[in-house]
Homo-oligomer: A and B are copies of this chain.
């Protein structure tokens, strides 16, 4: 079903006229009267609507307002050390499709990419657009927020707040992701992953000191952009999403 992202105010109305990009999109799709579409606020609420009129404007009448059906039951946040540009863009797009709640990036000791504040601001706008576009295409009810934290320590402290905070580490051989996920009930998961060169040992210890579980993703070395997506896929599977 076609979905249009609107603000929460619009979602609360009984009749909605599509405007701007949404109207243009409706025209491209040749939306017809009596067709059903979804309005989403990108924050987890949606409204099932029927097209009432297409001329001179697209007018939708709301049939039912509800929590977005396509959102996963488990909230998974991706904490990824800042990689080279195109890799983070890839992870943002794919993690959004896979159902991640947020994507958070931060510097670590071995990060090669060190953008200054000005270029970071510009990048962040771009990243947020990638998330919005992937959310629309994949039928998400939430547009994942993309955020930048200024230090690894801050990222760890925030990630540690989840019910199930996990750091993915290629030199961990004993504890599997499954052991961590099977160890207790959870409704929020943080998945922390390293940059191209991996984490330093002391960075791993820093995470453990905060109670974060250090897990392996198997006996193969995954690239920095593959690891978080593999882990999100596995967590969604473990949570019964598919």
Give Cα A93–Cα B54 distance, bound, in whole angstroms.
Answer: 46
Expressed in whole angstroms, the Cα–Cα distance for A51 and B229 within the complex equals 37
A63 at the B interface (CB under 8 A): no
- A123 vs chain B, min Cβ distance (A): 22
Copies held by the complex: 2
Interface of A with B (CB < 8 Å)? 69-72, 94, 97-99, 137-140, 176-178, 215-223, 226, 229-231, 233-234, 236-238, 240-242
Tell me the smallest distance from the CB of A2 to a CB of chain B, in Å.
Answer: 12
Asked if residues A218 and B178 are in contact (CB atoms below 8 Å), the reply is no
Q: Find the residue from A72, A178, A217, A219 having the highest chain B CB count within 10 A.
A: A219
CB distance from A88 to the nearest CB of B (A): 16
Which of B69, B220, B223 contacts A219, CB < 8 Å?
Answer: B69
In the assembly, what is the distance between CA of A207 and CA of B226, in Å?
30
A139–B178 Cα distance when bound, in Å, is: 22
Contact of A237 among B72, B139, B220, B237 (CB under 8 A): B237
A242 and B233 contacting across the interface, CB-CB below 8 Å: no
The reply to whether A98 and B234 form a contact with Cβ atoms under 8 Å apart is no
